[in-house]
């Protein structure tokens, strides 16, 4: 790590000395927001290509570019729309993308060589909490499958092959789907067929009857309701309140070669995250922006309700959810907790994606760039937690705190054979 150009709390003398040194060197200094734009702390790479999938939670990456927060930190973000998570994976690995809005579990899967090429990876920050859902077809809902218990009852009463879709084998949506099915007595490995479908294709596939349900990010669950083909059976925040979702991911090599660029990306996206969560007006502007064809390509009304916590299930029930999708939440969202990454490893082990127990903590320490994140957060005066582990109580009452991952991974009654 390079020494910060300006300390977090510099004395007046230090500040003047460093500023004078930079000015003498002929470098520009961008002080507002604590920008790193001079001397040895200047970004190694000025233009960065960041991939994204058309989902509401790509918003902080998109708005960092659209609102020009990136320019404050000496970089230009080129937001690159991708077709699938597999495409994001491949382009990260081969260097076509510098970084990406990406599934937490995808990064961990690539690092361990699960479901794709093996490559050392990095998580720079968490992009959002909450805001995904599990949708069931309207046909199933009409038979009583409006929630997990109802689905289990219908599947038992009418035996056949039931098909559910997730977005990537090691990704978050697969893990939410499996966890929810299993908590309702349905083994996703033996009692159902599970397929992989890119997020923007979920609604179209359900429309033609290719699946009975899916787990995906917004706006595609709300889109299914608008189109009258699906209902929301559960939200992912009901499975795990304030769960980690997408991350800013890249290869370990990129961070090693471009530490200042990586930090500048984090700072720009942190500022965009804070801007989004500041209030209603900003959220509505964000919804209007990302709804455009070049980003999510849907109607604004498919996005702007659930980002405010205004939910409906497609069967007449409406509610205000305080645990809706959040991008910043006073900084609580963005810290890359080691325990968050470790949880995905426990589920990869649970479902047979990993044959043995990995070094859970060791792997998380390799991937999650906590030191780099702390540097970026300090410059923006954003609080960071005292511990790299956090405790969370799931909807089924089970507590996960990262302290005994191997025991936790083997504790589930329903798991892969």
Q: Please give the full DSSP string across 246-277, using - where no structure is assigned.
A: EEEEEEHHHHHH-HHHHHHHHHHHHHHHHHHH
Give SS3 for 209.
coil
**Given a cut of 90, is residue 29 above it in pLDDT?**
no
- 27 within a domain of the structure (yes/no): yes
Q: Name which of 132, 319, 299, 140 is nearest 229 in CA terms.
A: 140
Residue 213 lies in a domain: no
Put simply, whether the predicted model's pTM sits higher than 0.85 gets the answer yes
Give the Cα separation of 197 and 256 in Å (integer): 33
The encoded tokens of residue 391 equal 């405790």
Q: In 3D, which of 130, 145, 149, 291 has the Cα closest to residue 226?
A: 291
In this structure, what DSSP letter does residue 129 have?
B
**Residue 2 DSSP one-character state:** P
Give 9's pLDDT tier (boundaries 50, 70, 90).
Answer: very low
Which residue range forms the structural domain that includes residue 80? 12-128+245-309+365-387
How many beta carbons lie within 10 A of that of residue 333, not counting itself?
24
pLDDT tens for each residue of 328-357 = 999 999 999 999 999 999 999 999 999 999
Residue 160 included in any domain: no
Closest CA to 115 of 367, 369, 352, 405: 352
CA nearest to 339, candidates 408, 406, 391, 397 = 391
Structure confidence at residue 115 as a pLDDT band (50, 70, 90): confident
What is the average per-residue pLDDT within 178-190? 98
pLDDT higher than threshold 50 for residue 8: no
On whether residue 304 sits in a domain, the answer given is yes
Give CA–CA dist 70/47, Å, rounded. Answer: 10
Q: In total, how many domains does the chain have?
A: 1
Residue 172 lies in a domain: no
Say if 70 falls within a structural domain. yes
Tell whether 206 is covered by a domain: no
> What 3-state class would DSSP assign to 373?
helix
CATH number at residue 59: 3.40.190.10
Task: Encode pLDDT of 219-240 as tens digits.
Answer: 999 999 999 999 999 999 999 9
63 in a structural domain: yes
**Token pair for residue 66?**
């659209």
Q: State whether the Cα torsion 52-102-210-153 is positive or negative.
A: negative
């Amino acid at each position: 790590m390079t020494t910060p150009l300006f300390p977090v709390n510099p004395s007046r003398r230090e500040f003047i000395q460093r500023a004078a040194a930079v000015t003498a060197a002929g470098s520009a200094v961008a002080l507002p927001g604590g920008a790193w734009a001079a001397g040895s702390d200047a970004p190694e790479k000025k233009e960065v290509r960041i991939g994204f999938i058309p989902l509401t939670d790509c918003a902080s990456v998109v708005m960092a570019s659209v609102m020009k927060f990136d320019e404050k930190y000496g970089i230009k973000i080129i937001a690159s729309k991708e077709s699938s998570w597999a495409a994001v994976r491949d382009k990260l690995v081969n260097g076509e993308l510098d970084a990406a809005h990406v599934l937490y579990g995808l990064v961990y899967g690539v690092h361990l060589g699960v479901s794709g090429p093996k490559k050392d990876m990095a998580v720079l920050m968490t992009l959002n909490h909450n805001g995904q859902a599990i949708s069931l077809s309207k046909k199933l809902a009409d038979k009583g499958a409006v929630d997990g218990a109802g689905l289990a009852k219908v599947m038992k009463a009418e035996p056949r092959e039931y098909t559910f879709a997730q977005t990537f084998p090691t990704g978050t949506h697969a893990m939410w789907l499996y966890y929810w099915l299993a908590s309702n007595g349905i083994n996703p490995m033996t009692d159902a067929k599970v397929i992989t479908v890119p997020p923007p294709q979920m609604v179209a596939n359900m429309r033609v009857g290719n699946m009975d349900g899916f787990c995906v990010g917004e706006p595609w669950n709300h889109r299914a309701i608008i189109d009258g083909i699906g209902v929301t059976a559960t939200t992912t925040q009901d499975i795990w309140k304030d769960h980690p979702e997408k991350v800013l991911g890249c290869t370990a090599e990129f961070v090693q070669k471009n530490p200042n660029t990586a930090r500048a990306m984090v700072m720009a996206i942190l500022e965009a995250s804070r801007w989004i969560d500041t209030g209603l007006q900003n959220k509505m502007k964000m919804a209007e922006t990302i709804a455009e064809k070049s980003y999510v390509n849907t109607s604004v009304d498919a996005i702007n309700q659930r980002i405010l916590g205004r939910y409906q299930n497609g069967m007449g029930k409406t509610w205000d959810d305080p645990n809706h999708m959040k991008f910043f939440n006073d900084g609580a969202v963005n810290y890359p907790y080691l325990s968050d990454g470790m949880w995905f490893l426990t589920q990869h082990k649970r479902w047979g994606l990993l044959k043995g127990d990995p070094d859970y903590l060791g792997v998380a320490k390799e991937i999650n760039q906590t030191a780099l994140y702390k540097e970026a957060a300090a410059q923006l005066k954003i609080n960071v937690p005292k511990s790299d582990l956090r405790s969370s109580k799931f909807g089924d009452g089970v507590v996960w705190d990262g302290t005994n991952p191997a025991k936790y991974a083997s504790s589930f009654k329903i798991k892969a054979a």
